[in-house]
Amino acid sequence: MLVVLGLGWGSTQPLGKMATMTGHGPFGLIFWQLVVCVAVLGGLTALRGKGLVLNRRTLRFYLVVAVMGTLVPNATFYISAARLPSGIMSIIISAVPMLAFPLALALGMERFAVKRLVGLLLGLAAVGIIAAPGAVLPDPAMAAFLPIALIGPLFYAMEATYVARNGTEGLDAVQAMFGASVAGLILCTPVTLGTGQFIDPFAGFGRAEAALVASSVIHALMYSGYVWLASRAGSVFAAQCSYLVTGAGIFWAMALLGERFSPFVWLAVVLLLCGVALVNPRETGRKADA
């Protein structure tokens, strides 16, 4: 199941890049992604005999998670994915734990540790290698989009910090994701229409549109699978899928998009994953599984 999660989530990076190849605007893509997520997660919620919980606290949770976990990071993802290699996007997304740690440290949720500082420095070194002229990126001008690509992981880290500090207001993970998707869809609709980025799927359903649907369905199913695995094997074991997502994302980029990478890319991958291993929480055993 761990391998399935890694392969599935890893495929969403190149599929997302394929979805941008016809020039669709980011909010048009996010709109239909949320439609698919609402349909899939809503169906799973109904099958489990549960519904959408609505009260002041859950509404606040839905809105925060929708903005931090979907609208902003997905918009910056589609903007940068249209210009950066998919494999590089897969490497950058794995920086979430390293960005979450200093946020948690600033809020007093974590304690400083030299080992984690070393992890942060390794992550910075990996990003530095990617940004170095002529080392990884086929066009030096692409480096200008690396800061945009890092906005997504930063907002994912902010979302994770918010959830870790405030909880999910009594919702299970599928309910939480379903409610956040509904809130995101409500917020995204006027932005999509107002910016003229709405996509008519019946005007010409092609490779890009199919990639978007596939990516959205896979994301919803993998998220549900992650919840299932975490409930049975513990959160520490399930969290290891993040390592597989990066490797699988590079593999899918090579298989689906024909991307090829220099030795510097593999060095950056090693440094970044080592950094993630050092920064990740040290919880083990029953405490982590709880």
The residue type of 151 is I
Predicted pLDDT at 236:
57
Structure tokens at 222: 């993998």
Whether 193 shows a pLDDT value over 80: the answer reads yes
Question: 3-state DSSP call for residue 21?
Answer: coil
Residue 29 · residue 199 · CB < 8 Å:
yes
User: What integer is the mean pLDDT of 225-241?
Assistant: 67
Question: 3-state DSSP call for residue 126?
Answer: helix
d(C-alpha 123, C-alpha 99), whole Å: 10
* In the block, residue with structure tokens 């890893």: 10
Whether 75 shows a pLDDT value over 90: the answer reads yes
Most confident listed range (11-25, 56-70, 204-218): 56-70
Question: 3-state DSSP call for residue 280?
Answer: coil
User: What integer is the mean pLDDT of 155-165?
Assistant: 84
Whether 183 shows a pLDDT value over 90: the answer reads yes
The residue type of 224 is S
Predicted pLDDT at 190:
97
Predicted pLDDT at 286:
39
Whether 191 shows a pLDDT value over 70: the answer reads yes
CA distances from 80 to 13, 136, 268 (A): 11, 16, 19
Report the number of distinct structural domains present in the chain.
1
Residue 91 · residue 246 · CB < 8 Å:
yes
pLDDT in tens, 244-288: 888 888 889 999 899 888 888 899 888 888 887 887 655 444 333
Residue-by-residue DSSP string for 198-230: ---TTS---HHHHHHHHHHHHHHHHHHHHHHHH
pLDDT band at 200 (very low <50, low <70, confident <90, very high): confident
- Element at 96 (helix H, strand E): helix 96-106
d(C-alpha 36, C-alpha 169), whole Å: 24
Residue 26 · residue 192 · CB < 8 Å:
no
Whether 289 shows a pLDDT value over 60: the answer reads no
Residue 48 · residue 109 · CB < 8 Å:
no
pLDDT band at 1 (very low <50, low <70, confident <90, very high): confident
Q: What angle do CA 169, 73, 289 make, to 5 degrees?
A: 45
Q: pTM of the entire structure?
A: 0.84
d(C-alpha 42, C-alpha 237), whole Å: 27
CA distances from 253 to 93, 114, 199, 213 (A): 14, 35, 25, 18
pLDDT band at 227 (very low <50, low <70, confident <90, very high): low
pLDDT in tens, 34-56: 999 999 999 989 998 988 999 99
Domain holding 226, by residue range, is: 2-289
> b/e for 250-267, b at 16 or more Cβ within 10 A?
bbbbeebbebebeeebeb
d(C-alpha 61, C-alpha 55), whole Å: 10
Whether 168 shows a pLDDT value over 70: the answer reads yes
pLDDT in tens, 97-150: 778 778 888 888 777 788 888 888 888 888 888 888 777 888 888 888 999 999
Predicted pLDDT at 128:
86
pLDDT band at 182 (very low <50, low <70, confident <90, very high): very high
Average model confidence (pLDDT) across the chain: 84
d(C-alpha 237, C-alpha 226), whole Å: 10
Residue 238 · residue 2 · CB < 8 Å:
yes
